[in-house]
Chain A
Amino acid sequence: MSADEIVCREFAELATDYLERAMPDETLELVEEHLAMCDWCRDYLAQIETTARAVGAEADAPDTAPPAATLQELLDAFRARAGGGASR
């Protein structure tokens, strides 16, 4: 990348580094200068953030549960362990 500015193609690779502030100060400064004048890259950044949130929200979906048989087996193991502990 050239020393005195960042172009959109470069920012597209740096969006996550930027969100984590995982870059040298001078790069951070160049990124912020670029973002200040580039609507498109601000849109791109917002979409990366939206994507990360959407992925997180999907975790609460009900159909990520294990199969009923697996759950039952594990509950039996949990009961055996908890019950065994209590009766000793």
Chain B
Amino acid sequence: MGPSSPTPGTSAEPRAADRDAALLVSLRAGDEDAFATLVTRYHASLKRVARAYVPTEAVAEDVVQETWLAVIDGLARFEERSSLKTWMFHILANKAKTRGARERRTVPFASLAGAEDQPAVPPERFQRPGDAWPGHWAAPPRPWEDPERRLESLEAREHLRAAIAALPATQQAVLTLRDVEGLEAEEVCELLDVSAGNQRVLLHRARARVRSELERYFEETT
């Protein structure tokens, strides 16, 4: 098993690790249902991370396909020094980097591509110099009422997905690894060759943009 985390992770993480540990036993016994479960569980996330490195959806799909074949080949040798999930994302990242280099893509995480220039919240929502309280909210967020319940509707989830899909590929990759898959920050930095600071900038930009889309949706449907 992987190293235990020094800080509490997201609530999804321990459950996911348990699920995968049980799955690994079945996978090694050649259980096809277990493999189908694994593929169904991770295919979309693997593809989203691959997409940060390669130019098209089709190439990303190829990279994920290659990753699955490598996982099948490697299962017998997998030593469990990391979680199954982290191991698979390492395979994916290596293949995606190689493929991205062949497609002459520049290294996507080498710069923030202007991410740090876009504020998390539009500047017009804050008071300006000369106002009563410069830098304080002018148009503050309104508390969301019962967001968990409202997010259960199909319509809300479609909005959420559209918001994620509209993010730059690098932000989607970090958001997927952190908030969907519950990987630790250090694991994500290592996987993507990104500094701790840049990892947080990308994660926060992604969360902030999705938050503002949810805010818009909630205000429209109140």
Stretch at the interface among B35-43, B51-59, B95-103: B35-43
Closest 6 CB pairs of A and B: A7-B135, A82-B30, A64-B44, A16-B204, A40-B140, A66-B43
Chain B positions near chain A (C-beta within 8 angstroms): 7, 10-12, 30, 32, 35-36, 39-40, 43-45, 61, 64-65, 68-69, 72-73, 76, 119-121, 123, 126, 133-137, 140-144, 147-148, 151, 157, 160-161, 164, 175, 178-182, 185, 196, 200, 203-204, 207-208, 210-211, 214-215
A12 and B214 within 8 A (CB):
no
A73 CA / B69 CA spacing, docked (Å):
10
Interface residues of A in 1-56 (CB under 8 A from B): 7-10, 12-13, 15-17, 20-22, 38, 40-41, 43-44, 46-48, 50-56
Among A12, A21, A59, the residue within 8 A (CB) of B7 is A21
B32 and A54 within 8 A (CB):
no
Q: Can you name 16 A-B residue pairings with CB atoms under 8 Å?
A: A9-B123, A12-B208, A16-B207, A47-B141, A48-B208, A48-B211, A54-B214, A55-B180, A56-B10, A64-B43, A64-B44, A74-B68, A75-B32, A75-B35, A83-B30, A86-B30
B179 and A52 within 8 A (CB):
yes
Question: DSSP majority for the A interface?
Answer: helix
A55 CA / B160 CA spacing, docked (Å):
8
Measured CB to CB, the nearest residue on chain A to B47 is A66
Q: For A48, what are the chain B residues with a Cβ–Cβ distance below 8 Å? A: 207-208, 211
Among A10, A51, A70, the residue within 8 A (CB) of B210 is A51
Q: How many residues of A contact B (CB 8 A)?
A: 47
A-B CB pair tally, cutoff 8 Å: 155
A12 and B40 within 8 A (CB):
no
Measured CB to CB, the nearest residue on chain A to B175 is A55
Q: For B119, what are the chain A residues with a Cβ–Cβ distance below 8 Å? A: 9, 12-13
Knowing that A43-B143, A51-B210, A82-B30 touch, tell me 16 more A-B residue pairs with CB under 8 angstroms: A9-B136, A15-B120, A15-B204, A43-B142, A50-B147, A52-B178, A55-B160, A57-B151, A58-B161, A58-B180, A65-B44, A70-B43, A77-B68, A78-B32, A78-B72, A79-B32
